[in-house]
Chain A
Amino acid sequence: GDSVTQMEGPVTLSEEACLTINCTYTATGYPSLFWYVQYPGEGLQLLLKATKADDKGSNKGFEATYRKETTSFHLEKGSVQVSDSAVYFCALSASAFFGNEKLTFGTGTRLTIIP
């Protein structure tokens, strides 16, 4: 079945450092890929998405590129801020019609940014 493997955390960085959180996936067909963020005590918020190979999703300075050849969707940010401290989840849905497909999540990576 479909699965998502995420870089294990926790990750601690200094403010303005570069961030990469690795995510690889296993799926049949052509899944859509997502990064969700969960701030303390809150539900999940969609951070960015990509629906086909070579698409780049971006939002709030974060980027991730859908790499079909390496089955990866790594999350990157050039300069992190204290407000980026949260848990980040990589996820996939089985098709581009993602509204009505279940999401399969990775285990999450906790990110802490130190001033």
Chain B
Amino acid sequence: ETGVTQSPTHLIKTRGQQVTLRCSSQSGHNTVSWYQQALGQGPQFIFQYYREEENGRGNFPPRFSGLQFPNYSSELNVNALELDDSALYLCASSSDEYEQYFGPGTRLTVT
């Protein structure tokens, strides 16, 4: 059974650019949640995808968007990057009966 994987591991972007982060969910899980963890803070919920549909969203602007694919993998897209978007982005996969399992994260630096 493979765990949750994320790519890339690290990423450096310039303010105003766009970025796509990817997450492969654990086998058997149909739900992917995305979190932003700023330095020294706890993770903040961005949104969740369940069976390819958005299933809840946190307090993030529309320039944060996502997708979930038929194999339940997921993408997080951020447009018009700002300096404050610099953070560790975590995805977690789960299913109806099982708690969320987290990937190792993507460290995004915006300069």
Q: Kindly identify, within residues 1 to 45 of chain B, every residue whose CB is under 8 Å from any CB belonging to chain A.
A: 4, 6, 31, 33, 35, 40-45
Q: Which 7 A-B pairs have the closest CB atoms?
A: A105-B42, A99-B94, A102-B45, A44-B102, A43-B102, A43-B104, A43-B105
Binding site for A on B (CB under 8 A): 4, 6, 31, 33, 35, 40-45, 48, 50, 55-56, 58, 90, 92, 94-105
Contact A99 B90 (CB under 8 A): no
A54 to B30, CA, bound (A): 30
A34 with B48: CB separation less than 8 A: no
Q: Let me know if A34 and B33 touch, CB within 8 A.
A: no
Size class of the A contact interface (CB-based, 8 Å):
20 to 34
Q: Are A102 and B43 in contact (CB under 8 A)?
A: no
A43-B104, A99-B95, A102-B48 given as contacts; is B41 within 8 A of A108 (CB)?
yes
| Contact indicator B42/A106 (Cβ below 8 Å) | yes
- Determine how close the nearest CB of chain A comes to the CB of B50; give it in whole angstroms: 6
Q: Is the CB of B96 within 8 A of A99?
A: yes
B100 touches which of A4, A89, A103 (Cβ 8 Å)? A103
Contacts of A36 in B (CB 8 A): 102
